[in-house]
């Protein structure tokens, strides 16, 4: 299948950064709890534990299942192989995407089965992927964090393609078409309540070690289009100085409410977010990073990730620093330093999202053709005590080990035997 980046998932990260800059205006007994000390494990201070994670994406069958319609036995075998791959490379945590698009990889009481399993949304695959993943991960000493996308409904705008039982068909007023996709409207209180209920159906049933959001809140901006929430703003935006402030408050509420609910429903689990790597450019806000990001999460996704960290609303954050050391528009080293300073003194643990999928990709700059680029990232992380580990995107790339980049990381930082470069 064609290669998808996280932002295709996240639009093209490089193009987002080369746009003109804006004018100014948890621990249990498994996984990270039992990892070796981080000094020598790829980040963090000596004597602490380190995150060594990978994202296992299911949207559009990015990582798993390899294609829709495999038998349950084949799907299970492939899923277990990914968990074994994580162990083989010395990882300790898997972020499993269980609600990719307002659907479910467990028998949900709220939303239909995901089409990534059978090819037909709503069709029972005959087994429980999330339940199996939790049990098999724990049997291998891995943590399993349930990864949810809160507001994406579909990667198309044809509601008739949704399962007849889909809440978006029952409540069409909840849905906004934008950029060729469908989204739940984050400004509706009933939507915010529903998406939490849908997610916590899984959190309440399964012994997950974490609840994880990715980088989608309000959708990434599409040139020439506006998100159609004017009526919602008129109804609920009173008292806010601008629509932007109201939108940020909507996302802040989702984050705070989810955090509180995690502590109530599953106190041992941790809640974390993996945002796009640029909060704001320093040309927009002096508190921002010295970058030229065409996307800024505060202004474009209405996600005030810096506040979430500084106020301790979330247990951990995994900014997607999907650029190489020395990149002009977004230097990995600059962003690593900025996020480290942001996390300093807070209760929020900092892990770094790493673009393994770029290694060896001929469309990427020269730095990504070198097997040691990601290893250099982890070495640099050791200079920042706030960096408590790294998470790699994605599982398919961990398994494929492009140009030996993952083997190099494992050998240099996780004490794993070196493997032959592919």
Residue with tokens 């029972």: 124
Reported as type and span, the H/E element at residue 230 is helix 230-236
Alpha carbon dihedral 289, 365, 352, 139, in 10-degree steps, equals 170
Other Cβ atoms less than 10 A from the Cβ of 60: the count is: 17
Helix runs in 113-207, H state only: 115-118, 129-139, 167-170, 189-205
pLDDT by position in tens, the chain (length 422):
333 344 444 434 433 443 332 222 222 334 443 333 333 333 333 333 799 999 999 999 999 999 999 999 999 999 999 999 999 999 999 999 999 999 999 999 999 999 999 999 999 999 999 999 999 999 999 999 999 999 999 999 999 999 999 999 999 999 999 999 999 999 999 999 999 999 999 999 999 999 999 999 999 999 999 999 999 999 999 999 999 999 999 999 999 999 999 999 999 999 999 999 999 999 999 999 999 999 999 999 999 999 999 999 999 999 999 999 999 999 999 999 999 999 999 999 999 999 999 999 999 999 999 999 999 999 999 999 999 999 999 999 999 999 999 999 999 999 987 664 43
Q: What burial class does residue 310 get, using C-beta atoms within 10 Å of its C-beta: 0-12 exposed, 13-18 middle, 19+ buried?
A: middle
Residue with tokens 């060896």: 360
């Amino acid at each position: 299948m064609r290669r998808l980046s996280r932002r295709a998932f996240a639009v093209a990260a490089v193009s987002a950064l080369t746009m003109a800059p804006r004018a100014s205006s948890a621990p249990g007994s498994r996984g990270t709890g039992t990892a070796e000390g981080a000094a020598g494990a790829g980040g963090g201070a000596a004597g602490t534990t380190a995150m060594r994670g990978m994202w296992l994406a299911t949207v559009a069958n990015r990582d798993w299942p390899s294609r829709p319609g495999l038998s349950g036995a084949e799907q299970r075998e492939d899923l277990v192989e990914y968990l074994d791959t994580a162990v083989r490379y010395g990882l300790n945590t898997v972020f499993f995407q269980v609600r990719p698009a307002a659907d479910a990889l467990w028998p949900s009481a709220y939303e239909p089965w995901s089409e990534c399993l059978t090819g037909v949304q709503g069709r029972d695959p005959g087994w429980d992927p999330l339940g199996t993943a939790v049990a098999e991960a724990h049997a291998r000493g891995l943590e399993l964090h349930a990864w949810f996308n809160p507001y994406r409904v579909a990667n198309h705008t044809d509601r008739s393609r949704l399962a007849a039982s889909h809440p978006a068909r029952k409540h069409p007023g909840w849905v906004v078409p934008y950029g060729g996709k469908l989204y739940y409207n984050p400004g509706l209180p009933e939507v915010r309540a529903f998406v939490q209920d849908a997610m916590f159906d899984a959190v309440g049933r399964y012994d997950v070690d974490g609840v994880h959001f990715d980088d989608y809140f309000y959708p990434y901006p599409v040139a020439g289009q506006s998100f159609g929430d004017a009526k919602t703003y008129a109804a609920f935006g009173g008292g806010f100085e601008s629509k932007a402030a109201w939108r940020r408050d909507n996302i802040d509420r989702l984050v705070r409410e989810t955090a509180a609910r995690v502590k109530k429903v599953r106190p041992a689990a941790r809640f974390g977010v993996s945002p796009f790597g640029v909060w704001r450019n320093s040309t927009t806000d002096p508190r921002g990073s010295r970058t030229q990001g065409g996307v800024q999460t505060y202004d474009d996704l209405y996600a005030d990730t810096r506040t979430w960290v500084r106020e301790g609303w979330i247990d951990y954050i995994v900014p997607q620093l999907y650029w190489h050391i020395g990149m002009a528009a977004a230097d990995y080293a600059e962003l690593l330093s900025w996020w480290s300073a942001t996390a300093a003194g807070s209760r929020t643990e900092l892990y770094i999202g790493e673009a393994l999928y770029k290694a060896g990709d001929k469309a990427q700059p020269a730095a990504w053709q070198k097997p040691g680029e990601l290893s250099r990232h982890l070495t640099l992380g050791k200079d920042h005590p706030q960096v408590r580990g790294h998470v790699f995107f994605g599982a398919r790339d961990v398994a494929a080990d492009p140009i030996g980049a993952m083997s190099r990381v494992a050998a240099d930082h996780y004490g794993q035997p070196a493997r032959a470069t592919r």
